[in-house]
Structure 1
């Protein structure tokens, strides 16, 4: 329950600072998790990215401010962070379907997006298999690309990385170097609060690398490991959503500040076999 309470405190923080530039790192600190993991949990639980939720809240409140007809459009736009009237008009119409100039007219239909709140609901009709493992640090080698701090902007970066790695022979090369646990091709998202965010396509290996690859030492963590299979990437995404929305809230664990790892055991995209590793710690 404490975990859910922290999420609600983070939403309250957003509401208290809705007319300011919201620092995602500070929001995540209120929820006692990393910036990456907060955004990831939020998107899975609310079904919209954090940035879109904030945008909807601001535009919803802007409509209320404009309805009394006493405030200038430019002043309301500036209040909610839009320095360009054109950008505000575009955002307003995308949410409400009308221009801000007609809001005060009688009979105009608007959309309201109230603040959300989190609560525990009973799910879990389908069983979830998992194991908890303490693992010492291990070395991965592979290729990496920087990730954006707003995680939805990475939905293009990561698939393009995998497509490129498959086409240019990188994955085949990595498979030949794999000699350590976890055995499989790894998708590793390094998104903690202490270093630059990157996504690795890699394998666990002790072998020497050339200048086309780089290495990273995954620190020692306790891992919650979930096996899965099915069509990629849909089956993986569905499992990750269930982990966040069903398992994590009642597990007695919470995210630790480490990387997320996807272990691809079978390369067949139509019937992939994989594991999802999330770093966890006991809830205090």
Structure 2
């Protein structure tokens, strides 16, 4: 996986003004575009699309400062059809437009060329099991929320708080299959989504495929397949978010599994009354590598 990610970084440098064929690279590395993008985002701390934009604007800034070519020529060279589109992308990275930077020599924000290196991790064992599940559905109350990588997501908190206590009891009574109990489900998130990108959040339960769903509930259909289930315990949500990050840095690189498209599910098994600590299970859809 490390070599595939570094080849991806090299490909970015070769194709900064064109389209990246990530699917072809992933196939040659024996993985999928979905998994490669998810691993890049998790390890680099930014989506691949954001890294490409930053590198493109780093190169463009050098041309703006040192060359006498007009800005339209530079914009076209870097893959933009107009100075307006180029200017917006340039400002989003550097905080100033190309004309201002050409006049003043800055400000400039450089994105260094990434390299991924193997480091020794894994000092703490991860409590994991692989589960094969038939198709099932998730039912509950869904909303759209922005993606937040660290800390409590206030939009999710607000959504949960808006559900009456009696409704929580009704949902728990409806659940009839694994994952058990009330579930926190995220879906419709791109594999390299940036923080702030909207995704679907559902607060609900898992139902067998043939179970009838009440008309007032939202549903997510889940395909049959395998799941990696990670058990976490400790301060909430910190312990859960740490485990989520460790799946990318430790578990996937050292195990013959990769992510497949599908929702991510958190089952809260036990918690303190104020939710300051909790024991949870993180369910992630996976498939064997090489399939």
Q: Fold match, TM over 0.5?
A: yes
Q: Once structures 1 and 2 are overlaid, which stretch shifts more, 243-252 or 204-213? A: 204-213
1:282 counterpart (269, 284, 288): 288
Tell me the distance in 1 between the aligned counterparts of 2:270 and 2:77.
52
How far off is 1:106 after superposition?
9.2
SS where residue 61 of structure 2 aligns? helix
Query: Could you tell me whether the CA contact under 8 Å between 2:11 and 2:20 is conserved in 1?
Result: no
2:179 corresponds to which residue?
182
Q: Does 1:33 align with 2:61?
A: no
Tell me the distance in 1 between the aligned counterparts of 2:278 and 2:288.
31
2:203 counterpart (192, 201, 204): 201
SS where residue 18 of structure 2 aligns? coil
SS where residue 181 of structure 1 aligns? coil
1:163 counterpart (150, 154, 158): 158
Structure 2 gaps, min length 5: 191-198
Query: Could you tell me whether the CA contact under 8 Å between 2:181 and 2:268 is conserved in 1?
Result: yes
Query: Could you tell me whether the CA contact under 8 Å between 1:34 and 1:192 is conserved in 2?
Result: no
Tell me the distance in 1 between the aligned counterparts of 2:169 and 2:75.
52
SS where residue 216 of structure 2 aligns? coil
Query: Could you tell me whether the CA contact under 8 Å between 1:192 and 1:258 is conserved in 2?
Result: no
SS where residue 175 of structure 1 aligns? helix
Q: 1:79 to 1:264 in 2, by over 3 A?
A: farther
1:249 counterpart (250, 253, 270): 253
TM-score (norm: length of structure 1) = 0.76
How far off is 1:39 after superposition?
4.0
1:80 corresponds to which residue?
78
Q: 1:121 to 1:191 in 2, by over 3 A?
A: farther
Query: Could you tell me whether the CA contact under 8 Å between 2:58 and 2:111 is conserved in 1?
Result: yes
Aligned length: 272
| Alignment deviations for residues 169-197 of structure 1 (CA, whole Å, 9 cap, x no partner) | 3544422322322112223344599xxx8
Tell me the distance in 1 between the aligned counterparts of 2:169 and 2:59.
52
SS where residue 227 of structure 1 aligns? strand
1:7 corresponds to which residue?
5
Structure 1 gaps, min length 5: 148-152
1:226 corresponds to which residue?
230
TM-score (norm: length of structure 2) = 0.75
| Alignment deviations for residues 34-64 of structure 1 (CA, whole Å, 9 cap, x no partner) | 54x4443222201123332122111101012
How far off is 1:119 after superposition?
3.1
Tell me the distance in 2 between the aligned counterparts of 1:97 and 1:249.
36
Query: Could you tell me whether the CA contact under 8 Å between 1:183 and 1:203 is conserved in 2?
Result: yes
SS where residue 122 of structure 1 aligns? coil
Query: Could you tell me whether the CA contact under 8 Å between 1:10 and 1:30 is conserved in 2?
Result: no
Cα RMSD (Å): 3.6
| Alignment deviations for residues 162-221 of structure 1 (CA, whole Å, 9 cap, x no partner) | 52243133544422322322112223344599xxx8543321135533221134442222
1:18 counterpart (16, 19, 28): 16
Tell me the distance in 2 between the aligned counterparts of 1:185 and 1:252.
30
Query: Could you tell me whether the CA contact under 8 Å between 1:34 and 1:257 is conserved in 2?
Result: no
